[in-house]
Amino acid sequence: MTDATHHHHAWTTWIDEFGWRLLAHARQITRSDQDAEDLLQNVILELWKATPSATPDLPLAYRKISQRAIDLGRSSQSRSQREETWQQDPALQPEFTTPQLSQSEEHDLVNRAIAELDQPLREIISLKLWGELTFQHIAEILDIPKSTAAARYQLALLHLESALKPLTT
């Protein structure tokens, strides 16, 4: 196996293993599924260009996604105005779908509950649950103290528990 073939295989395996987790995180911190997919594609390309011979550490990939999401948010003033119009008309809003999840009412309820969390709480939930990261890694990615990451996670769980009571009764 040539080096190029080996590197291609390593990257393909890495994307197959972690791509859905990274996409789930990107979906929580961007405004749309399309933005999340575009952002993830750009981050993977950026990481590959930086080190094509080695796959990146997972925390680095999450950090890049978070950084690029901030950049995207800052550069989308005109899009925000269009989205305001879109959000005011419920008929224009598509249903949220995720290929990895069934379309059950329970998944829809969980997705809605997560979507209603404040952005910092959504991000913590995404990194902890889908990213399977430690609070130390989350703290490094978000540039916050480890105790803040843990506290936000606990707060997010309390909000979700309250929102999801219909599932537990």
Domain shared by 120 and 163, yes or no: yes
Q: Is the pLDDT of residue 75 over 80?
A: no
Domain shared by 169 and 108, yes or no: yes
User: In the structure encoding, which two tokens stand for residue 157, read together?
Assistant: 């769980």
CA distance 107 to 95: 12
Boundary (domain end) residue, out of 94, 127, 148: 94
Give the residue-averaged pLDDT of 97-121: 73
List the single range of 70-79, 85-94, 121-130 with lowest mean pLDDT: 85-94
Q: Write out the H or E segment, with its range, that includes residue 81.
A: helix 77-88
Domain shared by 23 and 8, yes or no: yes
Cβ(4)–Cβ(48) below 8 Å = no
Residues composing the chain: 169
Residue 99 pLDDT grade (very low, low, confident, very high; cuts 50, 70, 90): very low
Q: Supply the mean pLDDT for the chain.
A: 82
Domain shared by 89 and 6, yes or no: yes
Q: Is the pLDDT of residue 135 over 90?
A: yes
Give the residue-averaged pLDDT of 76-82: 59
Domain shared by 121 and 151, yes or no: yes
- Domain housing 41: 1-94
Cβ(59)–Cβ(139) below 8 Å = no
Q: Tell me the pLDDT tens digit for each residue of 110-133.
A: 888 888 999 899 999 989 888 888
Residue 163 pLDDT grade (very low, low, confident, very high; cuts 50, 70, 90): confident
Domain shared by 86 and 101, yes or no: no
Q: Which residue has the tokens 């430690």?
A: 134
Asked whether the CA dihedral 51, 52, 53, 56 is positive or negative, the reply is positive
The domain that holds 157 is classified in CATH as: 1.10.10.10
Q: Is the pLDDT of residue 165 over 60?
A: yes
CA distance 59 to 81: 33
User: In the structure encoding, which two tokens stand for residue 69, read together?
Assistant: 């999401």
Domain shared by 60 and 104, yes or no: no
CA distance 77 to 65: 20
